[in-house]
Amino acid sequence: MPFPHKDLLGIGQLSKDDILTILDATESFKEISTRPIKKVPTLRGRTIVNLFFEPSTRTRTSFEIAGKRLSADVINVTGSTSSVTKGESLLDTAYNLEAMNPDILVVRHSASGVPHMLAQKINCSVINAGDGAHEHPTQALLDLATIREHKENFDGLKVAIVGDITHSRVARSNILAMKTLGMTVTVVGPPTLIPVGMESLGVRVSHNLEEAIADADVIMMLRIQEERHNQTSFPSLREYSILFGLTAEKLKKAKEDVIILHPGPVNRGVEISPDVIESGHCLILNQVNNGVAVRMTLMYLLLGGADENPN
Amino acid sequence: MSQPALTAQDIQRALIRIAHEILERNKGADNLALVGIRTRGVPLAQRLIEQIKIIEGVEVPLGLLDITLYRDDVATGKQNPVLKKTDIPFAITEKTIVLVDDVLFTGRTIRAAIDELMDFGRPAGVQLAVLIDRGHRELPIRADFVGKNLPTSRDMRVQVQLAENDDTDQVILEKRVIDKGLNKRKED
């Protein structure tokens, strides 16, 4: 079955089968990064442009490494060093990059919908690497890949997503993916950080961390995105941390085999305490590790793999 | 259905002979490892390892190779193949590697397999064992050990069925069904 998409703009476009196809292939791509020569020739001669209008360490590096391990040529363009600072519009920048014939444009932008708009205007494949508070599909997929390594089945898993839900594209992509896979999701945070009508996505809303994590199989902690707050959403970081920060003490209320995810960057001591990060439950670095394999998979699938071998 | 080109017994005999030939050529099983090319090279390699164990009393290591990412026709087709894991659980450097596949045709699969193998180290030598050599090579590649040479025309399809994957052991020759011309398969 061919992978039926040219672009990856959001989890919303993926069926359950699509998600499982990606996760199955990810396991194979992961092996490549353990080889003595961490490179396969699959995308030789292809060009991938990373167009990042927001700061990023993990995601940009991960896309770059993923492309390079597939032998593609990867070019990084960041907003602050591009001609956008000279007044060029986003679309003109994209048209000019497209004139150099890239095969994939990886886009991160602070405005929701930018990857969708570009995908309509240009011919190459577009991957959404995070758009505003909308979606961050590759993050959700790498989270799922990490969960899959530690839990037998997606169906029926209980997940608590904790923190700044309003500003989190990671939460949105994960909720969409997890609901598609039959998981039960509870979002946790102060009322000011949870959008009204959240229940319409099929999730439960809680304002009590200890109650919400008691029966969770997976806890996903989110960073307070202060850079996106234009008003005060809670009295102080200290108070937020006391109520919604995950500490070893609160973790005692959770299941023995609970796993903890965090998309990074972490604000140690705010949403998650250092002793929790050091505990065996916390899989932050596994997530980063899986991120490379997930992005390799997507590049491969979007650029259309090969025929099946007849002999 | 047409008469099988090889029966279960033919396959069994060919594999026993190949196991002997591998041992004869390499003067025993020291330093030897078998690497099966997915999908059907793997059960063949496993069977050869069993035979070698019966003959020589030594169990040589098995590796699995998925050559999908090394193919020369990525993106010429519209289908995504099911990717499986490559798994070489031993150091190949200084070992003699016998690649095992079911059908040798254009030679492109073997080219890809050798390329991939070399990314794992520097073997002392690489040999090739195939159950069927059907001719029509497009690259300067030949097999060291052949179960059966099966002259075919290009529009024929050689189907190797093995109990591990297909419930039965046999090799069938059949006319290729051309699916609407558009999806004409690039052969390996």
Share the mean pLDDT of chain B. Answer: 89
Window 1-40 of A: residues touching B by CB (8 A cutoff) are 1-3, 21, 24-25, 27-29, 31-32, 35-37, 39-40
For A103, the closest chain B residue by CA position comes to B75
pLDDT at B75 over 60: no
Q: Is A124 a domain residue?
A: yes
Q: Is A100 a domain residue?
A: yes
pLDDT at B179 over 80: no
Instruction: Please give the average per-residue pLDDT across B61-87, as a whole number.
Output: 77
Residue B159: predicted pLDDT: 92
Same domain for A148 and A93? no
Q: Is A310 a domain residue?
A: no
Distances in Å between the Cα of B45 and the Cα atoms of A301, A309, B7, B129, B155 are 30, 18, 18, 9, 28
Same domain for A125 and A58? yes
Same domain for A183 and A77? no
CA distance A51 to chain B (A): 24
Same domain for A124 and A216? no
Residue A233: predicted pLDDT: 82
Q: How many CB pairs under 8 A join A and B?
A: 101
For A301, the closest chain B residue by CA position comes to B80
Share the mean pLDDT of chain A. Answer: 93
pLDDT at B71 over 90: no
Min mean pLDDT across A58-72, A166-180, A221-235, A276-290 is at A221-235
Q: Is A219 a domain residue?
A: yes
Q: Is A115 a domain residue?
A: yes
Q: Is A274 a domain residue?
A: yes
3-state secondary structure of B118: helix
Write out pLDDT tens, residues A98-147. 999 999 999 999 999 999 999 999 999 999 999 999 999 999 999 999 99
Same domain for A280 and A144? yes
Instruction: Please give the average per-residue pLDDT across B84-97, as a whole number.
Output: 92
Residue A63: predicted pLDDT: 98
Q: Is A1 a domain residue?
A: no
CA distance A25 to chain B (A): 6
Same domain for A128 and A164? no
Domain count, chain A: 2
Instruction: Please give the average per-residue pLDDT across B13-21, as a whole number.
Output: 97
Domains assigned to chain B: 8-155 (3.40.50.2020)
Q: Is A4 a domain residue?
A: no
Residue A195: predicted pLDDT: 94
Residue B182: predicted pLDDT: 46
Residue A310: predicted pLDDT: 36
Please report, for the domain that includes residue A293, its CATH number: 3.40.50.1370
Same domain for A244 and A196? yes
Instruction: Please give the average per-residue pLDDT across B64-91, as a whole number.
Output: 77
Same domain for A235 and A149? yes
CA distance A93 to chain B (A): 28
Residues of A in contact with B100 (CB under 8 A): none
Contact across the interface for A310 and B116, Cβ inside 8 Å: no
Same domain for A224 and A102? no
Write out pLDDT tens, residues A74-94. 999 988 878 888 888 999 999
Instruction: Please give the average per-residue pLDDT across A217-233, as a whole number.
Output: 85
Same domain for A54 and A65? yes
Same domain for A297 and A226? no
Please state, for a pLDDT cut of 90, what percent of chain B lies above it: 77
pLDDT at B2 over 80: no
Residues of A in contact with B74 (CB under 8 A): 42-43, 303-306
The complex scores an ipTM of 0.72
Contact across the interface for A25 and B83, Cβ inside 8 Å: yes
The pTM of the full predicted model, rounded to 2 decimals, is 0.86
Instruction: Please give the average per-residue pLDDT across A20-41, as a whole number.
Output: 92
A59: containing domain: 11-134+288-305
Same domain for A300 and A270? no
